Chain A
Amino acid sequence: MSTIEISQIKVIASKEFRDRIRNRWVIAVAIIFTAFALAIAYFGAAQQGEVGLRGIEVTIASLVSLVIYLIPLIALILGYDAIVGERERGSLDLLLSMPITRLELILGKFLGLSAALASATLAGFGLVGVWLSYQIGIGALYHYAGFMVSAILLGMVFLSLAVMVSVISKDRAQASGGAISVWFLFVLVYDLILLGLLVLSGGSVGETLFPFLLLLNPADIFRILNIFSTQDLQVFYGLTTVFPISLSNPWLMGAMMITWIIMPLTIALWRFK
């Protein structure tokens, strides 16, 4: 293994980040986040026949159900092109003829795109957070900050998956198909299969296996991380019945997220020829 030159990672990362600022990607996504967050915070209880702000816990729970669809999708769209795009355009050879290793290139791409997504998340949801703290109280910020950090981690997990898809795909069409499949798998299909399994087995897998199966899906980790943050929500979701409280330690969940970030990147590096 050769040494890693941080400066090379920085060059690639700053280019990716600058590109997303310049083509207004960051501002556009931030506006989408702000609009959705405001709408959800205000109209989230409309089903119960009322509008207006509710407690921070319920607001976060509503935001979680939005973010769990939206952020993986945005991250995958942002990242699927990272390597295969350079390859298809024909700029990859020139890039690799520079004094840069493939690891540095992958990390640079990943970190630059992560910075863009994190900025959009912080700006979009942060604005709403500030407004919420005025309306609900400064104490709300604590949980809300946790929600934003976990949302950024969720974005990074799916960016990492997107970079992996980008490396192993032959062309951009295949990569976009791969990215959409990843989204369907983790965001829609996985939970359905788990639920089906639970019902089919008459709940017998539930006791021991189920919590661990949940940890195999980063989207579920994100959900657990946010919903277990407050007592109210645990009851609200009835999650404690299937998920042992001992596994809900936010540090453990955070570590799982980080593992989910590292693994796809490792596979990407291994397959990058």
Chain B
Amino acid sequence: MKNNVIEVKSVFKYYGEVLAVNGVTLTVFKGETLGLIGHNGAGKSTLFKMMLGLIPTTSGEIVINGTPVQGNAFRELRRSIGYLPENVVFYDNLTGLETLQFFAELKGCAHEALLPLLEKVGLIHAANRRVDGYSKGMRQRLGFAQALLGKPRILFLDEPTTGLDPEGIREFYAILHELNVQGVTVIITSHILSEIQERVQRLAVLKSGKIQALGTVQELRESVDLPLTIHVRQHGSAETLMSTLQGITFEALSVESGVAIIRCHRAQKMEVLRRLGALGNALEDVIVKEPTLEDVFLGYAGLGA
């Protein structure tokens, strides 16, 4: 049985006349990593802030571990929640270590844990340098270290890899994987969909304050039924290929410098491959390309637009 860690129950948020979050219902299970996708202004950060109890909902309720986030009892729970805001900002006059000390004191965790934490995010060499000399990537690493203070059981990460170089991104996800193994529940937002699709168990697509889709990457792909692309390289003539595939209705079929590019629906995939098999030795290479999450996302973003 799955444990519900975060329950968002028909939440609406109005800023004056503007509807920022439009009836979101969402459950996050214990130990899962959930990706939250949406264009800028889709309501991701607003939803995050409501989940953290930073701003009130207009209507609806958010409960974490059975505790309403707007209630007084939520304070204790905050000690076990880590939050990395989008474009995290620190105090320029403090060093990296002092920054962590400040937040550690607020969270009530031991100072001995701070240097190992800086080591973990690769900032130990800059521990005693002032934050105003930090690069964007270093600030982001410090932000991540801050979110990990006090061994949180729930992590909210808003665009966590912004400003990180590929090495930094790799290290970040390695740590995230480690936490995932330890059963930490993670909610993460990102623009870089190809980066996050391999690393989350489920995805929620947010558009105009509404959840458009929710499920595993595979479920989302299948539900939108975006066409697959099949690249075929062969010795024979284009006509032979056409006649082999006769009778199948394609989305598109084109030949570019000797490579035939076929776009067809998922249901037709096996039929196409069987026919191609009939080409025998004339067939040089077949590449099947699944739609990327970007395609899915853009597909969703296009729905009802």
Contact = CB atoms under 8 A, between A and B. Distances in A.
Most chain B Cβ neighbours within 10 Å, of A2, A23, A94: A94
Nearest to B150: A99
Interface stretch (B24-32, B83-91, B121-129, B260-268): B83-91
A19 interface: yes
A191 B298 CA distance: 65
Contact of B54 (A2, A91, A97, A99): A97
B93 A19 contact: yes
A273 B107 CA distance: 21
A2 B78 contact: no
Contacts of B108: 7, 99
B107 A91 contact: no
A7 B106 CA distance: 8
A89 B89 contact: yes
A93 B85 contact: yes
A11 B93 contact: no
B250 interface: no
Given A93-B49, A94-B85, A101 B93 contact: no
A91 to B, nearest CB: 5
A205 to B, nearest CB: 44
A91 B79 CA distance: 18
A91 B91 contact: yes
A62 interface: no
B93 A23 contact: yes
A271 interface: no
Contacts of A22: 93
A94 B79 CA distance: 13
Contacts of B14: none
B72 interface: yes
Given A8-B106, A90-B87, A97-B83, A2 B75 contact: yes
Nearest to A89: B89
Contacts of B52: 93, 97
B106 A100 contact: yes
A26 to B, nearest CB: 14
B54 A96 contact: yes
B97 to A, nearest CB: 14
A100 B103 CA distance: 11
A94 B88 contact: yes
A170 interface: no
B277 to A, nearest CB: 57
B106 A99 contact: yes
B81 interface: yes
Contacts of A100: 75, 106
Contacts of B78: 97-99
B107 A98 contact: yes
A128 to B, nearest CB: 31
Contacts of A95: 106
Contacts of B105: 11
Contacts of A90: 85, 87-89
A273 B53 CA distance: 11
B17 interface: no
B94 to A, nearest CB: 8
Contacts of A97: 52, 54, 78, 81, 83, 85
Interface in B88-104: 88-91, 93, 102-103
Interface in B57-92: 72, 75-76, 78-79, 81, 83, 85, 87-91
A91 B102 contact: no
A99 B76 contact: yes
A109 B52 CA distance: 22
Interface string A80-120: 00000000011101111111110000000000000000000
Nearest to B49: A93
Nearest to A11: B105
Nearest to B106: A98
Contacts of B89: 89-91, 94
B102 A15 contact: yes
Contacts of B91: 19, 91
Most chain B Cβ neighbours within 10 Å, of A95, A96, A97: A97
A256 to B, nearest CB: 33
Contacts of B93: 19, 22-23
B107 A99 contact: yes
Contacts of A19: 91, 93
Interface in A1-53: 1-2, 7-8, 11-12, 15, 19, 22-23
Given A90-B89, A97-B83, 17 more contacts: A2-B75, A8-B106, A11-B105, A90-B87, A91-B89, A91-B91, A93-B49, A93-B54, A93-B85, A94-B85, A94-B88, A96-B54, A97-B52, A98-B78, A99-B76, A99-B79, A273-B55
Top 10 A-B pairs, shortest CB-CB distance: A2-B72, A99-B78, A98-B106, A90-B89, A97-B83, A11-B105, A91-B89, A99-B75, A89-B89, A99-B79
Interface of B: 49, 52, 54-56, 72, 75-76, 78-79, 81, 83, 85, 87-91, 93, 102-103, 105-108, 146
18 contacts: A1-B72, A2-B72, A7-B108, A8-B106, A23-B93, A90-B85, A90-B87, A91-B89, A91-B91, A94-B103, A95-B106, A96-B54, A97-B54, A97-B85, A98-B106, A99-B75, A99-B79, A273-B55
